[in-house]
Structure 1
Amino acid sequence: MAAVLTVLFLLALCGVAVYVLRDSVERIPAGHVGVQHRRFGRRQPKEFSRVAVYGAPGPQAELLSANAYYLRPTYLYRIEHFPQTYVPPGTIGVVVAKVGRVPPPGMRVAPFVECDHFQDGAAFLRNGGQQGRQLQVLGSGSYDINPYVFDVITVADLADRPDVGLVPDDLREIKINVGETGVVITRLGTAHRGDSSYLGRFVPGHHSFQHPWVFLNGGGELGVQSETLPEAGYYFINPWFATVVKIPTKNLIMEWTKDDKSASNLDASLEQIELDVQGYRVRLDMNQTLRIPAEAAPRLVRMFGEASRNNELKTPVQQFVEKELSSTVTSYFRKISASYTIFDFITKYDELSAALFREVQQALAQHGIEAVATTLDGYECEPEDMNQLRRAIAIQKEQYKLEEAKLAALEAELVNTGVYTRIEQQKLIVEAERRKLELIQIQGLVELLGPEQVAMERILSELVKMGVPQVIASGGSGEMAQALLQVMPFAQARDMMLALAQGAGERLGAAEEPQAIEAREEPAGE
């Protein structure tokens, strides 16, 4: 009888054990984590009062991972399931610790504690992790994170979290394209004592500011950093630690035109250039090609700051174009308007571009920026007669350049007598085209400005050659004419003008007449 009772007792015990085991086996489904709530246990240390680390009652820091079986007696544990933490592709997640040591006053972001990307809450608490914002961020992917220990904020949560002070763009991977560099502005670090142009010193080992704890432990400084983010890369930067300003390093073309531009254009502030030259209104277009080297980008940001999130402020490059580049060009053309005659402007337009390039080059070099090219495009004048003269001069200049190019090609082939003869002929053609250009300029100016003013300018030019007084004080055109007659008889002045006009026509006609040039043989071997 005792044996029977023993067998029945064992069978009952086995049944109870099977029941307990079956009810105590916990499987965590895919895509979830399990939080263990212990029903009783030993007393919890005071600093871990909210989440248990050493087996005290309450939610445990240690997690149960997905797709695994665990033996957790129901009389001792209650298991709660939560979805895994998911960070969408192309974004980052920032972390706030709900438990841990209380940070000291003024601590904005807690020191780094190694805890397997916040998947080991027990290690975080045991190693002195502090409450509040954390330095490390989470890249895209799924994580086993205990929601009782950490709060992970992603782009999907920002609408419900105005307290974190972030916008969706703050939680996106930072992509630096080819032809760009990333200027980093740190919000944490030691205060420097440099001047207004000071840049944060280089600190090694922080993997392009993606390990901010290394930067801070190495004495990294607040503000704009001298080290930049290289092009063609993706970076996970904690927005509580630093922000990044993208600066283009490829060739940029800034245009002064009358065309409408988007407010986002780097040259949005530039408009068509308008000048007043001797009472003639001149409108012209201009292009400036420049390049900002990566090493010059931090100083540009240091000088002009970063654009605001709501686009109230312009980007550093836009501000540089408006305040530095535009002012340099405006100053140059102000000098042109004051010192050039309309005749100088038309006949020396090509020279203006070269002189402007040198001025822009010097101004940009002060900021470490390269001036690649300066191009003055076509221009329009008022009244329309000036445009006709401008076009006639331009056409004749092109013809003159063409004949000069032919002459240069012939001189390069100076290897036989036949080519020599053609060279002499081509020189006559070039001289004829030059005189045509001179005649067109004189005729156009006479029609526009009147023969008296043109004659006065030519007489003054001849007086300089003759060695007569170069400065004649006068109060007006009548007094100047009278002063001129004091140093040169009127008849001589009149004859000079007639000779100038007649000589130009005769020289032009003579240059156009066919001239026979004897071909001469070059000595053998030359």
Structure 2
Amino acid sequence: MSGLGIALLCIVAPVGLVLLWGLLSAIRFIPNNRVGIVEKRFSTRGSLKSGLIALHGEAGFQPNVLRGGLHLLVPFVYRVHIMPLITIPQGQIGYVFARDGLPLESGQALGRTTPCNNYQDVAAFLRNGGQRGPQRQILREGTYAINLAQFVVVTQDGVSYLPLNREEAVTFKRMAEVIAERGGFQPVIIKGTDDVVGIVTVHDGPSLPQGWIIAPTVGDDPSHPDTYHNNFQEPECFLKAGGMRGRQHQVLVEGTYFINRLFATVELIPKTVIDVGWVGVVVSYTGEVGVDLSGEDYKHGELVRQGERGVWNTPLMPGKYAFNTYAGHVILVPTTNFILKWVKSEVGAHRFDENLSEVSLITKDAFEPLLPLSVVVHIDYRKAPLVIQRFGDIKRLVDQTLDPMVAAYFKNIAQTRTLIQLIQERGEIQRLASQEMQAKFAQYNLELQEVLIGTPTSAEG
């Protein structure tokens, strides 16, 4: 080979190697189970003025990802970060944190739901007003090609994102811990055999007005799809319907619910069970101020319609109820006959008389015996709300009203009879007591069925 040929070879060979290297560096292979996140090193359009994603060809992270296959890119201009596809297993939930977008508004905890094909279209997310920070929309079962420079995905298996700095790792780890503490990677499952209801507390949206303790039910009508939130599974519909943050009046019953636990947490409490022989008088802490239904002659409080604030005029009949015990209290009232025993050593089945003891008497001939007695009482279920409105509960009625009333009645009887007469005329006294005390019991909306008098005993036993 001549000297000229050798010289040409020395020139052409390096150039060829450079061209070959440039061609090879321009070809990027993306496996089918991964995506390529494109970072543009420089651009004739300059650098980003703000944000993280370059929507107009500027230098920086590009919105679109590269899917599996061979891709030809301009050498030296682009850098490709190979990241895995995001897979959410069946029965699990994925959470998303957006790095770029509009800032959250005052009082807003989570970014609004934005049409973006489940976070797979970064450009649509940003152009449609997507917000930075944790998002309201969750990811359900499936595999997603997500740009992990823009979005951070938190699943039960870990946190997936393209690292940009060390400090943000602490934020994402804490987010994952909060979700795990709330059981947020699995849906809320309420089984029929558990006999529980779910009490929901919403952590986003406008605050409750002053004086409110429970947020009213909104968006529960499926015929209005724009506001039907499907049991808190659609946060945007909930807020559009006027939903507020705080504990909710609406409860969850049997079923499976895919709820964003950053948006709402769920507490399971037992159902309210009213057995046969009882009714439940509801004292509601929430609702509109209602019209008093107790009548002008009733001076001991107000009764209101079901759903209004106060004591409901209609009791709950025997059955199981998905009752929110944070929104009200159910007081059980027996509708079968119950016995009150003025006997210190005996207690009735309902235990309303556990504080009662024999009535201490002073007879006409100055004896001081103790009189054991029993009273059979019935409460009409329709009058149960009146009893609760007046006394609060049955035990308070017995201790504060019936005990002193019955004791005073028999003390008066004893003062007109000797001890022998008290024993000999027990049947007549019992008959008169049943008749005369019926009117007294009726004043308290009670039905006196029978009075049973025992044999007087000495105070020493």
TM-score (norm 1): 0.48
The answer to whether structure 1 residue 47 and structure 2 residue 63 are counterparts is: no
Task: Give the direction of change, closer, same or farther, for the CA distance of 1:121–1:360 in structure 2 (3 Å limit).
Answer: farther
The answer to whether structure 1 residue 56 and structure 2 residue 58 are counterparts is: yes
Report deviation, 1:35.
0.6
SS of structure 2 residue aligned to 1:130: coil
The answer to whether structure 1 residue 117 and structure 2 residue 118 are counterparts is: yes
Report deviation, 1:202.
1.4
Q: Aligned partners of 2:91, 2:381: CA distance in 1, in Å?
A: 44
Question: Is contact 1:197-1:303 (8 Å) kept?
Answer: no
Q: Aligned partners of 2:431, 2:152: CA distance in 1, in Å?
A: 89
Q: Deviations over 1:260-280 (max 9, x none)?
A: xxxxxxxxxxxxxxxxxxxxx
Query: Partner of 1:315 in structure 2?
Result: none
Query: Partner of 1:184 in structure 2?
Result: 200
Query: Partner of 1:76 in structure 2?
Result: 77
The answer to whether structure 1 residue 223 and structure 2 residue 246 are counterparts is: yes
Q: Aligned partners of 2:458, 2:189: CA distance in 1, in Å?
A: 71
Question: Is contact 1:24-1:74 (8 Å) kept?
Answer: yes
SS of structure 2 residue aligned to 1:170: coil
Report deviation, 1:240.
2.2
Residue from 164, 173, 177 that aligns with 1:161: 173
The answer to whether structure 1 residue 239 and structure 2 residue 261 are counterparts is: yes
Question: Is contact 1:200-1:222 (8 Å) kept?
Answer: no
The answer to whether structure 1 residue 171 and structure 2 residue 199 are counterparts is: no
Q: Aligned partners of 1:202, 1:334: CA distance in 2, in Å?
A: 41
Q: Which amino acid aligns with 1:176?
A: I
Q: Aligned partners of 1:216, 1:199: CA distance in 2, in Å?
A: 12
Question: Is contact 1:249-1:291 (8 Å) kept?
Answer: no
Query: Partner of 2:40 in structure 1?
Result: 38
Report deviation, 1:78.
1.9
SS of structure 2 residue aligned to 1:301: coil
Q: Deviations over 1:436-494 (max 9, x none)?
A: xxxxxxxxxxxxxxxxx999656421577799xx9xxxxx9699xxxxxxxxxxxxxxx
Task: Name which of structure 1's ranges 453-462 and 219-228 shifts more when overlaid on structure 2.
Answer: 453-462
Report deviation, 1:116.
1.4
Residue from 219, 222, 229 that aligns with 1:206: 229
Report deviation, 1:63.
1.1
Query: Partner of 1:152 in structure 2?
Result: 153
Task: Name which of structure 1's ranges 120-129 and 155-164 shifts more when overlaid on structure 2.
Answer: 155-164
SS of structure 1 residue aligned to 2:91: coil
Q: Deviations over 1:329-357 (max 9, x none)?
A: 99962436527899877xx9xx78xx59x
Report deviation, 1:113.
1.8
Q: 1:326-341 to 2 correspondence within 5 Å?
A: 333-335=351-353, 338=356
Query: Partner of 1:6 in structure 2?
Result: none
Q: 1:48-447 to 2 correspondence within 5 Å?
A: 48=51, 50-65=52-67, 67-157=68-158, 161-162=173-174, 165-168=178-181, 169-178=183-192, 179-193=195-209, 196=212, 198-203=214-219, 204-231=227-254, 233-249=255-271, 291-294=319-322, 297-298=323-324, 300-303=325-328, 333-335=351-353, 338=356, 362=384
Q: Deviations over 1:13-43 (max 9, x none)?
A: 9999887555533332132211112232122
State percent identity of aligned pairs: 27
Question: Is contact 1:249-1:292 (8 Å) kept?
Answer: yes
Q: Aligned partners of 1:461, 1:98: CA distance in 2, in Å?
A: 88
SS of structure 2 residue aligned to 1:335: coil
Report deviation, 1:133.
1.7
Question: Is contact 2:218-2:238 (8 Å) kept?
Answer: no
SS of structure 1 residue aligned to 2:351: helix
Task: Give the direction of change, closer, same or farther, for the CA distance of 1:340–1:18 in structure 2 (3 Å limit).
Answer: farther
Task: Give the direction of change, closer, same or farther, for the CA distance of 1:463–1:112 in structure 2 (3 Å limit).
Answer: closer
Q: Which amino acid aligns with 1:145?
A: I
Task: Tell me how many residue pairs correspond in the alignment.
Answer: 315
Q: Aligned partners of 1:236, 1:456: CA distance in 2, in Å?
A: 73
Q: Which amino acid aligns with 1:162?
A: R
Q: Aligned partners of 2:432, 2:60: CA distance in 1, in Å?
A: 110
SS of structure 1 residue aligned to 2:37: strand
Q: Aligned partners of 1:93, 1:176: CA distance in 2, in Å?
A: 20
Q: Aligned partners of 1:460, 1:150: CA distance in 2, in Å?
A: 87
Task: Give the direction of change, closer, same or farther, for the CA distance of 1:360–1:63 in structure 2 (3 Å limit).
Answer: farther
Q: Aligned partners of 2:132, 2:431: CA distance in 1, in Å?
A: 89
Q: Aligned partners of 1:25, 1:251: CA distance in 2, in Å?
A: 69
SS of structure 2 residue aligned to 1:47: coil
Q: Aligned partners of 2:105, 2:203: CA distance in 1, in Å?
A: 18
Report deviation, 1:101.
2.8
Report deviation, 1:236.
1.8
Task: Give the direction of change, closer, same or farther, for the CA distance of 1:109–1:40 in structure 2 (3 Å limit).
Answer: same
Q: Which runs of 5+ in 2 are unaligned?
A: 1-13, 160-169, 220-226, 277-316, 339-346, 360-370, 390-418, 437-455
Q: Deviations over 1:347-368 (max 9, x none)?
A: x9xx78xx59x7899479989x
Question: Is contact 1:212-1:241 (8 Å) kept?
Answer: yes
Q: Aligned partners of 2:114, 2:213: CA distance in 1, in Å?
A: 35
Report deviation, 1:94.
1.9
Query: Looking at CA atoms only, which structure, 1 or 2, has the larger radius of gyration?
Result: 1
Q: Aligned partners of 1:466, 1:252: CA distance in 2, in Å?
A: 36
Q: Which amino acid aligns with 1:83?
A: P
Q: Which amino acid aligns with 1:461?
A: G
Report deviation, 1:136.
0.9
Task: Give the direction of change, closer, same or farther, for the CA distance of 1:127–1:89 in structure 2 (3 Å limit).
Answer: same
Q: Which amino acid aligns with 1:183?
A: I
Q: Aligned partners of 2:94, 2:42: CA distance in 1, in Å?
A: 35
Q: Which amino acid aligns with 2:229?
A: H
> C-alpha root-mean-square deviation of aligned residues, in Å?
5.0
TM-score (norm 2): 0.54
Q: Aligned partners of 2:191, 2:383: CA distance in 1, in Å?
A: 27
Question: Is contact 1:47-1:101 (8 Å) kept?
Answer: no
Query: Partner of 1:28 in structure 2?
Result: 30
Query: Partner of 1:490 in structure 2?
Result: none
Task: Give the direction of change, closer, same or farther, for the CA distance of 1:86–1:253 in structure 2 (3 Å limit).
Answer: farther
Q: Aligned partners of 1:36, 1:478: CA distance in 2, in Å?
A: 99
Q: Which runs of 5+ in 1 are unaligned?
A: 1-11, 255-288, 305-319, 368-452, 471-475, 480-526
Task: Give the direction of change, closer, same or farther, for the CA distance of 1:37–1:366 in structure 2 (3 Å limit).
Answer: farther
